[in-house]
Structure 1
Amino acid sequence: MGNLLNLFYKEPPPPMVLVPPLFDFPPLAARIRMMESSYDMLFGKLALKCLFEDYYEEARHFSTRIMLKPMDDPNVDLIATVNGPLNHKPDENIVGNALFRWQRDVDDPNTFMDLFVSNSEPVLRMRSCVYYPGSGFGAFGTFPLLTNKKRVNSEDYGVMGLRYGSENLSVGATLLPFAYKSPRTAWLVSRMGRLTAGVQYIPTIEKDGADYKDLKNWSCAIGYGLGSSSPLSPSFNFCLELACSSQLIASFYQHVVVQRRVKNPFEDGVVGITNYIDFGFELQTRVDKAESANTGQDSTFQIAASWQANKNFLFKGKVGPLSSSIALAFKSWWKPSFTFGLSAVRDRRTATTGFGFGLRVEDLREARYQRADPNYVMLTPTKEHLAEGILWKTGQRPMLQSDVDFGNFDGLPKELRPIEKIL
């Protein structure tokens, strides 16, 4: 009799939590990070740049971006952008760019080559980067092939660079191959537990002799960070930087992962959804008061926050002494996906408000909702619930909070894994 009842009675699935993909993770800037100074990518700088700039369109301007990848060859992709004013003016042009990229491995963006074409400067540019994870050494270069203007500076002929990177150390330099000068840039960054410290050399003041002795060509920073770069892990980063021996920059960035309860009438057992909340603050102030003549520009700050409510809606806002902005983005995860953004900018100097629009079409990511076990929400989990969660829908193991806490991201899609730990 009991076996007969089991045929008609089906136990409800255990409570589960939806985990949406991030709108843009990893960020596109991370694809060329092996060509950039680690000093400019660490200390929360990449995360703060995305928080302060992404989806904030310039007032009374529009931007479109199309990112496509062929089905038969996932190692190549194309990104095309068109930006311009909503009301065309004689002194403002519509800028169009296209970037064709090839990378050696779909899951390894550190070895690649791309071609950039534009109706601005330069017209045609080639970049290439090779990195060997086994030894930690890499080489890269940027070469303008065609340009509208006459080549005057050494940089107009190209830039080459060498680097070494490991989990705890990054050192590198960029050189001008057609100029007998000191390095164009040089950096050294080291990580010791939760502390990260680094120095960078950029010869902004050129003069006869060894300009590396001038402290204005040097910058140094120290940062304290918690958590990983995975969207599923809360993280915090605080940084103090002395830039060019003249400007003190203090910043912090925090990524918060929270769950809120939901009632989904279309899916049984879904009791919650994961939200991503980001905060950022940056303060810049001059420390060489004796040489600063304009006191109005001595200090500035900006603060921003973003909230991703689900996989479709993103809300952002930022405030500064001269302007404030808000942005709303809607993303449809079709194939290809479409993202529409609307932003409003309030300029306090002119007491005017302007709107900007953005449209993105993307076929690079295949992100989707994931499911987490009951430990992922504010429930009282039991061993029975945990066992049901693992056995529910054979072959689909839900992500477990314990795996995320211990840094085990192997079972997750790459959109939810942290960026590689190479400095």
Structure 2
Amino acid sequence: MGNWWSFGEPPPPPMVLVPPLFDFPPLAARTRMLESSYGLLFGKLALRCLFEDYFEEAKHFSTRIMLKPIDDPHVDLIATVSGPINHNPEEKIVGNAQFRWQSDVDDPHTFVDLFVSNTEPILLMRSCAYYPKFGFGAFGIFPVLLKQRVSSEDYGVMGLRYGSSNLSVGATVIPFPAGDEFPRNAWLVSKMGRLTAGVQYEPKFGSKDRAGYKNLANWSCAIGYGLGSGSPLSPSFNFGLELAKNSQFIASFYQHVVVQRRVKNPLEEDEIVGITNYIDFGFELQTSVDDDKSSNNIQDSTFQIAASWQANKNFLLKGKVGPLSSSIALAFKSWWKPAFTLSMSATRDRTMAETAFGFGIRVDNIREASYQRADPNFVMLTPNKEHLAEGIHWKSGKRPVLQSDVNSGNFDGVPKELRPLNKIL
């Protein structure tokens, strides 16, 4: 009789699992205020993560520990150790650590960090202050301890920037000693609907006679077309064209696909009918437009293509192909607190006809995305509204699975780690 209260109650509604991405937001997004927006937009940051993350250097290992105290979430520490797997007297194990203080837990744009290493620079301080109300920010990078200061950049770099949702403009200078290059670099990027266009000036040629701006080799320009909100729960697409230093043409595209598949896991409850997967594609072609170089040279014309598939919260598979080598990477992540990630990559060098392996270990409690069940971004439509379900992926029983209004920009209730970073360009 103890079960009669539940007699006649409807069964629980079907649910879709929405796992967090392995690494979102990317660590590079925490320091993007220290870099030119030109170097991060046009899909460059996403391509960098796709082509580099979890692809360990052949015959090398890497470990990374990212921790923050429970009592003070404004500070965190990242320590890394990397080196050759086999003993090699010509290579040494590199270790470094970074201590960071962040003003706002949810806003990474105002911070101070200290970087220490057993290689150059031995001690580096970086700081950034950004005021979202006005859109202005100031930042600086200062090598405190160096064995020797060779270039003017070894004395420090300072910069100013302005950022809004459709415009980013800024410049960096070398304050002391005054360098020949002024400014060190400057950029202007603007977004108009789905189009993003930008230009960057870096005086590497013709600066001694103060006429560096007249040399086209100091200028780069790019244009990109992008779709999507920037959240991993929403599909996105970005295509970009760039003319770098008036000598290299770069074409690239990046696509993030969100798909749902059936779940036939006996360990899950009966109401779990589907799971969200994330598939990423990327391609980059670089070719020289300088007449003095032969375009048939593999160094002057190259390409790379990569893809990744996150099957669930625990497994990630990646692969990339280039003209000289191919690589595949497999990562397993346990979402404990802190999260623990093991990765292994294999690289096939076609010029030497050999395959080498690399290994990586990561511990992370800085990014705390949770494993979502019955997420509000995914709803079940009743059969009498089936004709309205334009986003149906499949049917399970009597009720179809539909992706809700994430694509329209409604991210209410979404964990902060999965929301798009669209406050500034």
Which shifted more, 403-412 or 91-100?
403-412
Greater per-residue helix proportion: 1
Query: In the alignment, is the contact (CA less than 8 A) between 1:113 and 1:127 conserved in 2?
Result: yes
Hey, what's the Cα distance between the residues in 2 that align with 1:82 and 1:32? 21
Structure 1 residue 209 displacement after superposition = 2.6
TM-score (normalised: structure 2): 0.91
Hey, what's the Cα distance between the residues in 2 that align with 1:41 and 1:375? 28
Aligned to 2:297: 295
Structure 1 residue 6 displacement after superposition = 5.5
TM-score (normalised: structure 1): 0.92
Listed as ranges, the gaps of 5+ residues in structure 1 are 387-398
Aligned to 1:155: 153
Identity fraction in percent: 76
- Counterpart of 2:161, as a letter, is R
- Counterpart of 1:92, as a letter, is E
| Corresponding residue to 2:357 among 355, 358, 366 | 355
| 3-state DSSP of counterpart to 1:403 | coil
Structure 1 residue 369 displacement after superposition = 1.6
Any idea what the Cα deviations from partners look like across 1:273-305, whole Å, max 9, x if unmatched?
A: 000000000000011123559833221000000
Aligned to 2:217: 216
Which shifted more, 400-409 or 104-113?
400-409
Hey, what's the Cα distance between the residues in 1 that align with 2:230 and 2:295? 41
Which shifted more, 7-16 or 29-38?
7-16
Aligned to 1:250: 251
Structure 1 residue 352 displacement after superposition = 0.6
Structure 1 residue 373 displacement after superposition = 6.4
2:134 counterpart of 1:128: no
Hey, what's the Cα distance between the residues in 2 that align with 1:381 and 1:261? 19
Structure 1 residue 202 displacement after superposition = 1.1
Structure 1 residue 29 displacement after superposition = 0.1
| 3-state DSSP of counterpart to 1:297 | coil
Query: In the alignment, is the contact (CA less than 8 A) between 1:264 and 1:271 conserved in 2?
Result: no
| Count of residues in correspondence between the two structures | 406
What do you get for the CA RMSD once the two structures are aligned?
2.1
- Counterpart of 1:201, as a letter, is Y
Aligned to 1:196: 196
| 3-state DSSP of counterpart to 1:307 | strand
- Counterpart of 2:318, as a letter, is K
Query: In the alignment, is the contact (CA less than 8 A) between 1:372 and 1:400 conserved in 2?
Result: no
Structure 1 residue 268 displacement after superposition = 3.1
| Corresponding residue to 2:288 among 286, 289, 292 | 286
Hey, what's the Cα distance between the residues in 2 that align with 1:244 and 1:375? 44
Query: In the alignment, is the contact (CA less than 8 A) between 2:228 and 2:407 conserved in 1?
Result: no
User: In structure 2, do the counterparts of structure 1 residues 422 and 375 end up closer, same or farther at CA, with 3 Å as the change threshold?
Assistant: closer
Structure 1 residue 405 displacement after superposition = 2.3
2:312 counterpart of 1:310: yes
Query: In the alignment, is the contact (CA less than 8 A) between 1:16 and 1:374 conserved in 2?
Result: no
2:177 counterpart of 1:170: no
- Counterpart of 2:307, as a letter, is A
Structure 1 residue 122 displacement after superposition = 0.3
Hey, what's the Cα distance between the residues in 1 that align with 2:123 and 2:292? 44
Listed as ranges, the gaps of 5+ residues in structure 2 are 389-400
Aligned to 1:395: none
Query: In the alignment, is the contact (CA less than 8 A) between 2:378 and 2:404 conserved in 1?
Result: no
Query: In the alignment, is the contact (CA less than 8 A) between 1:170 and 1:189 conserved in 2?
Result: yes
2:412 counterpart of 1:414: no
Which shifted more, 286-295 or 65-74?
286-295
Aligned to 1:271: 273
